[in-house]
């Protein structure tokens, strides 16, 4: 049941509300790749190794992924707009503390706060998009959202390079504060309320879900730093908490974990495609700044600018793939796109030792084209395969799949660096190639009759 006071489906898009929503998405999404690009500069400033400094990325992903699904469920109950707005406030506070951090420990704690704010925004955005678009145009809404997420994430290195060329890394975070507050004001005055489910949040299930993902991400992150005892303990905790959560939510019509949605084969395969694809993206956007600064001797500011061709190509082909979805199955587009990404990474891994900006740029264009062909169609497939009354949980799973993949990618880089030192940079690139091929295979499996009719 839903709150009967909610307004009917829109007949046209509210432009002001859409702008406010997408501005928030830009601010939150770009923060991830801003930090990835600034890792070498932060490590040098704080006197830490790049492998240790990657913890500021891992702790962010841990808090985001742990809180996504409980916050998505809370949004269904008290309103997605309310959870979204509070998240922006928390995000602004976390950015402010990050900007004034003078130690790795303080920065890690601040990044954890940023993660909670980002989770509030990411877990509710797809559901809010659904409230803004008429049913006949919902595919365009998800396509635009995928485009904004993709471009914001991949534009982060360019923005970071500009900031680092002018001032210190602290301003990467401090500059987020006014944008987050501006987005909050626009949200408060322009975004309509969404439907609310007539049920209560199960606090025990919410805590179990958060602890389960925290344990999972701790296990994943510990692999990257070769801490095998932590891996074993966190792994066992993950299994125990998963079992407890599934027992707690057995037979519930709307479980926080969304097990019911994974019974829809197309939804499950699209989520798996997202996890593997964003593993590649997360890996690449951590390893590229290291490749360009350590192996090719570019400055951090130059490295950010050299990554620009990826988001440029992504922006163009995200728009194209959104329209292609009307005529070509998302499974086919995703498979072709991720194969192109794999080819692009092979080209990156075989660059000459004295690679010029042109050598780097055209290879990243190939990667951007491939990821652009994958991203929008996969978002449409994920959200459209879920029932409308489960859009909140589907939103949480969309964001969880993306961020879990990006965390695994960052961890893969940390593992390669911890195991092989600086030679692990090249190893990480080839890991990315293998995962991209795996992602293409999973995407292609959606073309079967069963997936098409699930």
| Mean pLDDT of the chain, nearest integer | 84
| pLDDT reported for residue 197 | 62
**Integer Cα distance of 170 and 191 in angstroms:** 31
**Integer Cα distance of 229 and 223 in angstroms:** 10
Q: What is the mean pLDDT of residues 382-391?
A: 76
Of 274, 364, 380, 349, the closest CA to residue 312 belongs to 364
Angle at 265 between CA 264 and CA 271, to 5 degrees: 95
Phi-psi region of 30 (alpha: psi -120 to 50; beta: other; left: phi over 0): alpha
Helix spans in 79-202 (H): 80-99, 104-132, 138-166, 170-174, 176-190
- Main-chain dihedrals φ then ψ at residue 2, nearest 5 degrees: -125, 160
| pLDDT reported for residue 5 | 41
- Of 3.30.450.270, 2.60.40.10, 1.10.274.50, 1.20.1250.20, the CATH number of 15-453 is 1.20.1250.20
Q: Tell me: pLDDT of 4 over 80.
A: no
Burial class of residue 7 (count of CB atoms within 10 Å of its CB; 0-12, 13-18, 19+): exposed
**Integer Cα distance of 67 and 59 in angstroms:** 12
Domain boundaries, the chain: 15-453
Q: Tell me: pLDDT of 444 over 60.
A: yes
* Residue 2: strand pairing partners: 197
Residue 397 pLDDT class (50, 70, 90 cuts): confident
| pLDDT reported for residue 1 | 42
Higher pLDDT, 164 or 388: 164
Of 394, 392, 396, the closest CA to residue 404 belongs to 396
156, 323 contact by CB (below 8 A)? no
pLDDT digits (tens, 9 = 90+) for 249-289: 877 777 777 777 888 888 999 999 999 999 999 899 889 98
341, 370 contact by CB (below 8 A)? yes
Q: Tell me: pLDDT of 115 over 80.
A: yes
pLDDT digits (tens, 9 = 90+) for 122-158: 888 888 887 787 777 776 777 788 778 877 877 777 7
Q: Give percent of the chain above pLDDT 70.
A: 92
| pLDDT reported for residue 308 | 83
Cα 325 vs. chain centroid, distance in angstroms? 22
Query: Cα–Cα distances in Å, from 45 out to 38, 104, 176, 257, 332?
Result: 10, 10, 20, 40, 45
Q: Tell me: pLDDT of 17 over 50.
A: yes
pLDDT digits (tens, 9 = 90+) for 328-356: 888 899 999 999 999 999 999 999 888 89
């Amino acid at each position: 049941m839903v709150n009967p006071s909610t307004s009917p489906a829109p007949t046209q898009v509210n432009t002001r509300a859409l702008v406010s929503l997408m501005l928030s998405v830009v601010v939150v999404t770009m923060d991830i790749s801003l930090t990835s690009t600034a890792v070498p500069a932060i490590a040098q400033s704080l006197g830490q190794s790049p492998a240790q400094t990657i913890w500021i990325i891992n702790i962010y992903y841990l808090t985001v992924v742990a809180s996504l699904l409980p916050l998505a469920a809370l949004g269904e109950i008290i309103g997605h707009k309310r959870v979204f707005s509070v998240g922006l406030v928390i995000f602004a506070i976390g950015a402010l503390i990050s900007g004034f951090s003078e130690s790795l420990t303080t920065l890690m704690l601040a990044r954890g706060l940023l993660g909670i704010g980002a989770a509030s925004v990411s877990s509710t955005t797809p559901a809010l998009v659904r409230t803004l678009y008429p049913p006949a145009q919902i595919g365009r809404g998800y396509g635009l959202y995928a485009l904004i997420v993709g471009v914001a994430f991949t534009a982060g290195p360019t923005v970071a390079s500009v900031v680092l060329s002018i001032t210190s890394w602290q301003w990467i975070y401090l500059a987020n504060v006014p944008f987050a507050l501006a987005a909050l004001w626009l949200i408060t005055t322009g975004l309509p309320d969404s439907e609310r489910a007539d049920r209560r949040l199960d606090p025990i299930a919410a805590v179990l879900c958060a602890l389960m993902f925290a344990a999972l991400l701790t296990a994943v992150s510990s692999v990257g730093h070769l801490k095998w005892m932590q891996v074993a303990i966190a792994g066992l905790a993950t299994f125990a908490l998963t079992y407890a959560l599934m027992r707690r939510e057995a037979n519930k019509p709307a479980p926080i974990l969304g097990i019911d949605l994974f019974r829809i084969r197309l939804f499950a395969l699209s989520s798996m495609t997202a996890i593997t694809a964003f593993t590649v993206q997360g890996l690449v956007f951590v390893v590229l700044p290291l490749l360009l600064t350590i192996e090719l001797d570019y400055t951090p500011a130059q490295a950010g600018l050299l990554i620009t061709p990826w988001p440029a190509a992504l922006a163009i082909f995200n728009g194209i793939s959104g329209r292609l979805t009307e005529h070509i199955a998302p499974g086919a587009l995703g498979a072709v796109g991720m194969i192109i990404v794999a080819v692009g990474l092979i080209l990156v891994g075989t660059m000459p030792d004295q690679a010029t900006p042109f050598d780097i740029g055209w290879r990243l264009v190939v990667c951007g084209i491939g990821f652009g062909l994958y991203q929008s169609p996969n978002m449409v497939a994920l959200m459209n395969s879920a029932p409308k009354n489960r859009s909140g949980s589907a939103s949480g799973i969309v964001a969880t799949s993306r961020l879990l993949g990006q965390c695994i990618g960052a961890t893969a880089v940390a593992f390669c660096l911890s195991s092989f030192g600086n030679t692990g940079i090249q190893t990480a690139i080839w890991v990315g190639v293998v995962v991209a091929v795996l992602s293409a295979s999973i995407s292609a499996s959606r073309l079967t009759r069963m997936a098409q009719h699930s």
